[in-house]
Structure 1
Amino acid sequence: MGHREDLLEGAKRCLLTKGFVRTTARDLVKESGTNLASIGYHYGSKDALLVEAFVALVEKAGDGFDDAPATESEAKGGSLERFEQVWANVLRDFPQSRSIWMLTFEVITQGERLAGVRDLLVKAQREGRSGLAAAFTGIAESDLPDDVVETEGRFHTTLLNGLMVQWLFDPQSATTAEQLTEGMRRVMGRMSQE
């Protein structure tokens, strides 16, 4: 690996152990075995490096969200079965990804102290919405229309953030995929009665 990759891997480790606020440039250099000048040369700033590392961690955590559905009916994008399957996958992976969700919570709660990081992450949010929309619709990210990303992607991001908070607070009482799906079924049912 070169310095760029070493820095990225070191930044991931620092984020998982120290978080955004406590990670210093010196920590990154020590963890990656590189030098201070490499951060600026390859990433422009410590914040830009940390954001890229954070996005990579979140993407990796999201890789299992869209695991192959168990039945053909679950494969149908937009179905309640797919909705439940994807949320079951998300919740299944929460324990292994707890440190990433804690890091996300740090970014949310420390936003004012992380102004530069926050601005960079706001730009990366569209990618997150796109990934979630693809998982739930079954449409490849590259083929997703903008309106799907900006509506359905935002909807699922909102649900994900709520589940993350519930799960971090008390995993035993957090909403399950089945409860979320039944809630969606009932809300849709009430809307169709109007």
Structure 2
Amino acid sequence: MGHREDLLEGAKRCLLEKGFLRTTARDIVKESGTNLASIGYHYGSKDALLVQAYISLIEDVGEGFEPGLGREMTQPPGSPERFQEVWGAIIRTVPEARAIWLLSFELMFQDERISEVRKLLAEAQKAGRSGLVSLFREIPEADVDQESAETEGRFYMTLLNGLMVQWLFDPDSATTAEQLTEGLRRVVREAAKN
């Protein structure tokens, strides 16, 4: 690996161990075996490097949203069964990705002290919305149109954030994929009456 990749891997380890706000440039350098000048040269700033490391960690978690164990999604896209299957796969990532989800909430609840970071993360969240639509509809992410990302993607992102709060706070009482799907079925039935 070169310095760029070493820095990214070191930054990921630092984020998982210390979080965003407590990680220093020196921590990253020590963990990556590089030097301080490499951060500026390859990423521009420590914060930009940490954002890239965070995005990489989230992308790794996102890969776990597939059912796993060599198994593809089995339920038809758009069906309640697919909805349940995807949320079940997402929930199964929580135990092993707990530190990453906690890091997400650390970043969400910061004020303007890290406005540059928030701006970069807002851009990454747009891609996340498209990724979620892709997963539920089983279409390539590049084929997700802007309107779908801005409507369905926001819906799924809102559910994702709410579920993660529950699963991080109290896994024993958190909403399951089955409960979430039954809730959706009931909401759709009530909406159909009007």
Scaled by the length of structure 1, the TM-score of the pair is 0.95
Map of 1:182 onto structure 2: 182
- RMSD of aligned residue pairs (Cα, Å): 0.9
Structure 2, unaligned stretches of length 5 or more? none
Paired with 1:108 and 1:144, the residues of 2 have a C-alpha distance of: 25
Q: Shift of residue 112 of structure 1?
A: 3.1
Map of 1:51 onto structure 2: 51
Equivalent pairs: percent with the same residue? 64
Aligned pairs (5 A) from 1:1-194: 1-67=1-67, 68-69=72-73, 71=74, 74=75, 76-194=76-194
Q: Shift of residue 142 of structure 1?
A: 1.1
Q: Shift of residue 44 of structure 1?
A: 0.6
Superposed CA deviations along residues 56-86 of structure 1, whole A, max 9, x for unmatched, are 00010010213312x4xx1x21111110000
Aligned partner of residue 171 in structure 2, secondary structure:
coil
Q: Shift of residue 146 of structure 1?
A: 1.1
Q: CA 1:89/1:111 → structure 2, altered by over 3 Å: closer, same or farther?
A: farther
Amino acid at match of 1:47: D
Paired with 1:165 and 1:20, the residues of 2 have a C-alpha distance of: 19
Paired with 2:43 and 2:54, the residues of 1 have a C-alpha distance of: 14
Aligned partner of residue 134 in structure 2, secondary structure:
helix
Q: Is the 8 A contact 1:21 1:114 kept in 2?
A: no
> Where do 4+ consecutive residues of structure 1 move more than 4 Å?
none
Structure 1, unaligned stretches of length 5 or more? none
Amino acid at match of 1:86: V
